Amino acid sequence: MPENKINNTEEEKKKVSVSIFQKRWKKFKTLKRGYISFVVIVTAFLISFILPLFVGKSALLVHYNGEYYFPLFKTYQATDLGQKRDAYGEANYRFLKQQYSEEDQGNWVLMPFYPYGPNENLLNELEGNPPHPPSGEHWAGTDDRGRDVFARLLYGFNIGLSFALVVTFFSYIIGIAIGAILGFYGGKVDILGQRFIEIWGTLPFLYVIIIISSIINPNFFLLVLILTLFNWIGMTYYMRGEFYREKARDYVAAAVSMGAKNKTVIFKHILPNSLTPVISYAPFAIVANIFSLVSLDFLGFGLPPPTPSWGQLMQQGLTNIDYWWLILTPLLAMFLTLLMITFIGEAIREAFDPKVYSRLR
Amino acid sequence: MNPENILEVKNLKVRFPIHGGIFLKKVAEVKAVDGVTLNLTRGETLGLVGESGCGKSTVGKAIINILKFNSPDAIIEGEVLLKTDEGIIDLVKLTPTEMRKHRGNIQMIFQDPYSSLNSRLSVGQIIEEPMLYHTSMNKKERLEKVSWLLEKVGLNPDQSKRYPHEFSGGQRQRIGIARALATNPRIIIADEPVSALDVSIQAQVINLLQSLQKDFDLSLIFIAHDLSVVEYISSKIAVMYLGNIVELGRSADIYHKPIHPYSKALLSAVPLPDPKRKGKERVILKGDVPTPLNKPTGCGFRTRCPIARDECALNVPPLELKRDDHFAACPYSE
């Protein structure tokens, strides 16, 4: 069949083949504010895991009497390092730094760029009563227990975003699995499953949290568990619909007629074609989960103190309404984070839109 | 089973129950296929024609046993006997797991090349997939076969890394054909393989199917509503109306000397590029096709038939031999 041959010009051969995902990623990159937000949030989140290198009360390196100490990895007592002022309990490296430079005996301390920790009480270093207003030393002031607000905000970012990611991840796994089962098997499975989801969905989330918190002190994992148990429901509706639709498409019939097992049909064929709502919904779910944690912390049912959290800061802002930095800084941090994640979501949605022309550029 | 035949369909019936009311009781039934009997010999092409909704695609899907995947309620009766190396198998009775082993023998080409290829997989992965299930070839052998198949269907083997959305409709249909050939099947069911394509591309794909049929010694069931396409490719034609075969015979016989009044009307509707024949011999039927929910008693065609009699309402007319190898389901027509 020479006449049937498709002619391949040189130009054609040079064309690089791209999958649909690569195409969408390319389009996502052209949506500037979403892409920039994505880069900023991802970088900030990655950096927040090594935050003690930049923000913290522990010194990075101490040189004392000819030996090196790494306080990031091991706790030293004040007496171990020859601290004179308030020499009890754990060493205070800011005091040590001052002391060593006054003594001038070749000892030195390398502190992080912003040398205050999130849970550290600074009452014995600062004059006056807390909360202290923002200053060159403490960029966002201190809270009502004399802790540095800026450090608490940064550590709170890591905790809030990690929490939201973990909750989103687990509730998506459960939601996708259950939605896929309902949509793929249909019939009685679907009817019974849907009724169960409807009943489960009527459980009042806040009351359950309040009841559980009054019995046991919630920790990170317990809160993840509770939120996941209430959050998976939304995804099942999307996945169920996607599976119903994709199951009726010809490529699935083709896979079955080739002899693919149900497992292969689900994971190799239907699932990759059903991920659009998962990916485009994820940033908004993360926003919602950050917000949930902030609300719970605000109400006092969230992470146990002294965990640095934005909701707890806002709660302080409400009780100390005259101290503007306690209200403004966590609100600003939350506003910026949620705004950027929403930008990401918006750009993802746009990148997954098959229409060529875009409103966002 | 006749030794010449590779596939025999005996009295195949497909019914779809309709549930309604609060307790989802069965309220009605769609008789999509109502007693179809077909034979397919080695290397032959059987054309299955009829208008939309007459059940021709359902016959194809019932033969390869994928109806229950999307309509688990469907009731399938009759026999679909397939000759394999392990003897004769009735596909209707197989469970999905048992059926999977035999799927390599009988493959399908789908109508819409835009939805029949998984857009997440590259062309190479798509064509390779059936080999994963039915052969024990290693990765290298599979890739070699993919290249060979791509060449066979007139595509460039370099294109196996490409994704389906980078191809045109005709090229995608060639990919679908290569996938169907990957397991060396004996039978291919082509469910309107060209009706989604441009006319110029249709000819290329049909020529390709014909040459592949010789190379691979394939038996084809060619389902279509385009009569000129079917006449060109088929050696035998079965005309379907409302779930029944009304006429069955050699392609040329049916095309030039149809017996059943429905076939006459259907064939007279084929446009001929001959200005002198304009307006002549056009049989126009009255009314619409009755719904398969509520089929007329007796002959399904009697409500629209120009030669219907009172007796037609009594019994479903069987296919009877009218001429040499030419069957029709009408006792009153010659």
The tens digit of pLDDT for each residue in A109-118 reads: 888 898 888 8
Beta bridge partners of B82: B7, B89
**pLDDT bucket at A12, cuts 50 / 70 / 90:** low
| 3-state SS record for chain A | CHHHCCCCCHHHHHCCCCCHHHHHHHHHHHCHHHHHHHHHHHHHHHHHCCHHHCECCCCCEEEECCEEECCCCCCCEHHHHCCCCCCCCECCHHHHHHHHHHHCCCCEEECCCECCCCCCCCCCCCCCCCCCCCCCCCCCCECCCCCEHHHHHHHHHHHHHHHHHHHHHHHHHHHHHHHHHHHHHCHHHHHHHHHHHHHHHCCCHHHHHHHHHHHCCCCHHHHHHHHHHHHCHHHHHHHHHHHHHHHCCHHHHHHHHHCCCHHHHHHHHHHHHCCHHHHHHHHHHHHHHHHHHHHHHHHCCCCCCCCCCHHHHHHHHHHCCCCHHHHHHHHHHHHHHHHHHHHHHHHHHHHCCCCCCCCCC
β A67-69/A61-64 pair status: antiparallel
CA dist list (Å): B209 to A9, A113, B232: 26, 73, 12
The mean pLDDT of B293-303, rounded to a whole number, is 87
Mean pLDDT of chain B, nearest integer: 89
Report pLDDT for A283: 92
For chain A, the maximum distance between any two Cα atoms, rounded to a whole number of angstroms, is 93
- CA-CA distance, A21 to A18, in Å (whole number)? 8
Confidence (pLDDT) at A78: 81
Instruction: Please report the pLDDT score of residue A5 as a whole number.
Output: 46
In chain A, which residues fall in CATH 1.10.3720.10?
Answer: 149-351
Residue of B120, B168, B211 for testing the chain A interface, max A β-carbons within 10 Å: B120
CA dist list (Å): A118 to A291, A318, B91: 21, 20, 70
**What pLDDT score was predicted for residue A166?**
95
Reported confidence tier of residue B172, pLDDT bands at 50, 70, 90:
very high
Examine the pLDDT at B315 and tell me if it is beyond 50: yes
CB contact under 8 A, B166 and A17: yes
Q: What is the structure's pLDDT at A4?
A: 46
Tell me the per-residue pLDDT of A56-90, one tens digit each, with 9 for 90 and over.
Answer: 888 888 888 888 888 888 888 887 888 887 777 78
Q: Measured between beta carbons, which residues in chain A are less than 8 angstroms from residue B204? A: 3-4
Mean pLDDT of A226-255: 92
Tell me if A253 and B107 make a contact (CB, 8 A cut-off): no
Q: pLDDT value at position A228?
A: 92
Smallest CA–CA distance, residue B137 to chain A, in Å, is 16
CB A309 within 8 A of CB A295: no
**Taking a C-beta distance cutoff of 8 angstroms, is the pair A164, A290 a contact?**
yes
Range of lowest pLDDT (A146-160, B208-222, B284-298): B284-298
How far is A152 from A118, CA to CA, in rounded Å? 4
Beta strands in chain B (DSSP E): 5-20, 25-41, 45-49, 75-84, 87-90, 106-109, 187-191, 219-224, 236-241, 244-250, 320-323, 326-328
Residue A213 or B64, more confident = B64
Which pLDDT belongs to residue A2? 43
A3 — pLDDT class (breaks 50, 70, 90) = very low
Interface probe, candidates A8, A9, A20, A250, chain B, greatest B C-beta count within 10 A = A250
Tell me: the pLDDT tens digits for B37-60? 999 999 899 999 988 888 889 999
What's the pTM? 0.83
For residue B246, the model assigns a pLDDT of: 92
A-chain residues near B190 (CB < 8 A)? none
Q: What is the pLDDT of residues A165-195, one digit of tens each?
A: 999 999 999 999 999 999 999 888 999 999 9
Cβ-based contacts of B61 with chain A (< 8 Å):
253
- pLDDT tens digits for range A292-337: 999 988 988 888 888 888 998 888 888 888 888 888 899 999 999 9
In this predicted structure, what is the pLDDT of residue A176?
A: 94
What local confidence, expressed as pLDDT, does residue A357 receive?
61
Decide if B119 and A261 are in contact by the 8 Å CB cutoff. no
Q: Say if residue A238's pLDDT is above 90.
A: yes
Q: List, for residues B144-160, the tens digit of each pLDDT value.
A: 999 999 999 999 998 88
Q: How confident is the model at residue A94 (pLDDT cuts 50, 70, 90)?
A: confident
User: Which residues in chain A touch residue B115, judged by CB atoms under 8 angstroms apart?
Assistant: 249-251
For the segment B186-197, the average pLDDT, to the nearest whole number, is 90
Contact A273 B118 (CB under 8 A): yes
Q: Which of A353-357, B3-7, B282-286 has the lowest mean pLDDT?
A: A353-357
Of A4, A13, A257, the CB nearest to B108: A257
Find out whether B239 and B47 touch, Cβ atoms under 8 Å. no
| DSSP letters spanning B111-122 | S-TTTSS-TTS-
Instruction: Give the distance between the most distant pair of CA atoms in chain B.
Output: 67
Q: Which residues of A touch B154 (CB under 8 A)?
A: 1, 4-6
What is the Cα–Cα distance from B56 to B78, expressed in whole angstroms?
A: 16
What does the alpha-carbon distance between residue B236 and residue B40 come to, in Å, rounded to a whole number?
9
> How far is the CA of B72 from the CAs of B7, B16, B64, in angstroms?
24, 9, 15
Residue of B nearest to A7 (CA): B156
Chain B residues with CB-CB distance to A8 below 8 A: 156, 158-159
How does residue B278 score in pLDDT terms, banded at 50, 70 and 90? low
Contact assessment for residue B81 and residue B31, using Cβ atoms and an 8 Å cutoff = no
Residues of B in Cβ contact (< 8 Å) with A257: 64, 66, 103, 107-108
Q: How far apart are alpha carbons A87 and B333 in whole angstroms?
A: 115
Q: Who's near A89: CB < 8 A, 6+ residues apart?
A: A77, A78
For residue A250, which residues of chain B lie inside 8 Å, CB to CB? 110-112, 115-116
Split at pLDDT 50, 70, 90, the class of A146 is: confident
Q: Which residues contact B317 (CB under 8 A, 6 or more apart)?
A: B298, B299, B329, B330, B331
| Residues of B with Cβ-Cβ distance to A1 under 8 angstroms | 154, 207-208, 211
Ranking A16-20, A202-206, A307-311, B252-256 by mean pLDDT, the lowest is A16-20
Distances (CA, A) of A59 to A56, A146, A157, A314, B180: 8, 20, 22, 30, 68
Residue in B67, B128, B129 to test binding to A, most A beta-carbons within 10 Å:
B129
The pLDDT assigned to A61 comes to 86
* Tokens coding A195: 């009724």
Does the domain at A149-351 match CATH 1.10.3720.10? Answer given as yes
Considering chain A, what percentage of its residues have pLDDT values greater than 90?
Answer: 38
* pLDDT score of B23 more than 80: no
**Residues belonging to chain A with any Cβ–Cβ distance to chain B shorter than 8 Å:** 1, 3-6, 8, 13, 17-20, 186-187, 247-261, 268-269, 272-273
Chain-chain contact of A250 with B133 (C-beta, under 8 angstroms):
no
Contact A6 B155 (CB under 8 A): yes
Enter the ipTM.
0.89
Mean pLDDT throughout B232-255?
Answer: 91
Chain A nearest CA to B302, separation (Å): 35
CB A273 within 8 A of CB A247: no
| A11: confidence class by pLDDT, cuts 50, 70, 90 | low
Residue A360 has pLDDT above 60, yes or no: no
Average pLDDT over residues B110-128: 91
